[in-house]
Amino acid sequence: MFPFEYYIPTKIVFGEGTVSRLGEISSSFGSKVMLVSYDESFIKSVGLLDKAMAPLKADDIEVVPFFGVKPNPTIEHIREGIALIKKESPDLLIALGGGSVIDTAKAMALGAFTDADIWDLVTGVAAADKALPIVTVLTIPATSSEMNPTSVVSNDEINRKEGFGSPLLFPKVSILDPELTYSIPIQNTAIAAADIVSHLLEGYLNHNSKWAPMQDRYATGMIKTVIDCMDKLLKDPKDVDARATLMWVSTFSWNGFYTCGLGAFDAIIHIIGHTFSAFYDTPHGAAMSVSIPAIMKFHLKDRTKRYSAFAKDVFDIDGDISEATAQAGIDAIIAWFKKIGVPTTFVEAGIPTDKLSEMADDTLVTAEHWGTTSYTKNMMLAILNLCN
């Protein structure tokens, strides 16, 4: 086990109907909030807006709305939100949505008390020492953003998607009400499930610790749980237990817990996948379901032991530690992605292949920012070609 520090100050309020406590929770931060979410007509149509507004009104909390968050949140939209914060001076930001909404709120919170441009804060050119408090109301479990201090945003002007983090960005409270997820279409749920699996695979597949039974078993056990949840939801998209369990697995898939003690690892799944979203606005989970098989194929020979264990532990594949068993594991996760209806290739994801060189360059920029130096452009091109 490598040395580590672990700290999560976020309070979780979990259970059906807990959105009704939003007013009570928000009032402890002040009497004026900014509500950040998706397109207003959408959240009205699925009943999310009313469920959030009712408890806020009951506690006499003034609400400033900020709608229009996209699946891959843009820096341009975030700048508009920061300007509105500086005009309205809310006491609290409420993020009503999934990872994209929470990440938007985090970036806005960091930009609230500085004159620096938010992209400079994202890229580390500038720094902030204060942020607005954030309460999240999770509606799409996928990213763990409700319980971690990171945010991922896109800059469409330069085709860049950047992740950044700060202890200032931990949500103060996150409301996890499974009832809010019952209306999510099964296709969106599947994309979210692929995203959850990508987080659980990132540390598991890419760490170099010689012996990590706790972390490895945690990751494979949680992946199996996601698979079990999706089996139930494919039969009944409103399965109460499956929705609640998927929400809790999502929150703990990328909040830093299971990777404690693993040491440094290359987050190559996200390095590659972020480029797909930056160039073609590919939904995050779909970008991950395309990158995962290609990366596993690329590392088949040098990670045979890990992939063989994955095949046996997750998909109950018989066999010894061998390339054949490892390949069977790769085939199995591709088959599962296809079963739940998410893409596994460029063609299925609608991603063109005429900019592979530029995409490879972009992955190297992300890799450098994240401290990954073990991949060359030729290696990145080889991975991208395996996405075909």
Amino acid 19: pLDDT: 98
Residues 158 and 271 in one domain: no
For residue 1, tell me if it sits in a domain.
Answer: no
Give the pLDDT score at 313.
Answer: 97
Domain count within the chain: 2
Which residues, listed in sequence order, are joined to residue 33 by a DSSP beta bridge? 63, 92
Half-sphere CA count of 198, side-chain side, radius 13 A: 32
Mean pLDDT of 219-223: 98
Q: Could you tell me if 158 and 191 lie in one domain?
A: no
- Whether residue 258 lies inside any domain: the answer is yes
Residues 252 and 161 in one domain: no
- The confidence band for 76, taking pLDDT boundaries of 50, 70 and 90, is very high
Distance of CA 288 to the CA centre of its chain: 10
Give the domain-ending residue among 180, 206, 230.
180
Report how far residue 332's alpha carbon sits from residue 338's, in angstroms, rounded to the nearest whole number: 10
User: What 3 state SS string does the chain have?
Assistant: CCCCCCCCCCEEEECCCHHHHHHHHHHCCCCEEEEECCCHHHHHHCCHHHHHHHHHHHCCCEEEEECCCCCCCEHHHHHHHHHHHHHHCCCEEEEEECHHHHHHHHHHHHHCCCCCCHHHHHHCCCCCCCCCCEEEEECCCCCCHHHCCEEEEEECCCCEEEEEECHHHCCCEEEECHHHHCCCCHHHHHHHHHHHHHHHHHHHHHCCCCCCHHHHHHHHHHHHHHHHHHHHHHHCCCCHHHHHHHHHHHHHHCCCCCCCCCCCCCCHHHHHHHHHHHHHCCCHHHHHHHHHHHHHHHCCCCCHHHHHHHHHHHHCCCCCCCHHHHHHHHHHHHHHHHHHCCCCCHHHHCCCCCCHHHHHHHHHHHHHHCCCCCCCHHHHHHHHHCCC
Question: Distance between CA 66 and CA 43 in Å, rounded?
Answer: 12
Chosen domain end from 180, 210, 230 = 180
In a domain, 134, yes or no: yes
pLDDT for residue 39: 96
53 in any annotated domain: yes
In a domain, 305, yes or no: yes
Task: Classify residue 246: in a domain, yes or no.
Answer: yes
Of 286, 306, 330, residue with least CA distance to 187? 286
Both tokens of 126, joined, read 């500038």
Tell me, what's the pLDDT at 70? 94
The pLDDT tens digits of the residues spanning 139-183 come to 999 999 999 999 999 999 999 999 999 999 999 999 999 999 998
Domain that holds residue 304: 186-385
CB-based burial of residue 133 (10 Å sphere; 0-12 exposed, 13-18 middle, 19+ buried)?
buried
pLDDT tens for 2-32 read 999 999 999 999 999 999 999 999 999 999 9
Burial of 17 (0-12, 13-18, 19+ CB in 10 A): exposed
**Exposed e or buried b for every residue in 104-132, given b needs 16+ CB within 10 A?**
bbbbbbbbbbbeeebbebbeeeeebeebb
Per-residue pLDDT, averaged over 297-312, amounts to 97
**30 lies in the same domain as 125:** yes
Kindly state whether residues 92 and 214 are assigned to the same domain: no
Clarify whether residues 89 and 165 are in a common domain: yes
Residue-averaged pLDDT of the chain: 97
**Do 222 and 161 reside in the same domain of the chain?**
no
CA 82 – CA 79 distance, rounded (Å): 5
CA distance 317 to 25: 47
In a domain? residue 135: yes
CATH for 56:
3.40.50.1970
Name the domain boundary from 146, 180, 214: 180
Same-domain pairing of 176 and 207: no
Residues 99 and 204 in one domain: no
**Nearest one of 211, 123, 220 to 166, comparing CA atoms:** 123
Residue 272: give its domain's CATH number: 1.20.1090.10
- Dihedral sign, Cα of residue 319, residue 321, residue 322, residue 328: positive
Mean pLDDT (whole number) for 314-331: 97
pLDDT of residue 240: 97
If asked whether residues 176 and 247 sit together in one domain, one would say no
Asked if 166 and 110 touch (Cβ cutoff 8 Å), the reply is yes
Same domain for 173 and 193, yes or no, is no
Let me know whether 174 and 276 are in one domain: no
Residue 374 resides in a domain: yes
What is the C-alpha to C-alpha distance for residues 349 and 237, in angstroms, rounded to an integer? Answer: 23
Q: Greatest CA span in the chain, whole angstroms?
A: 64
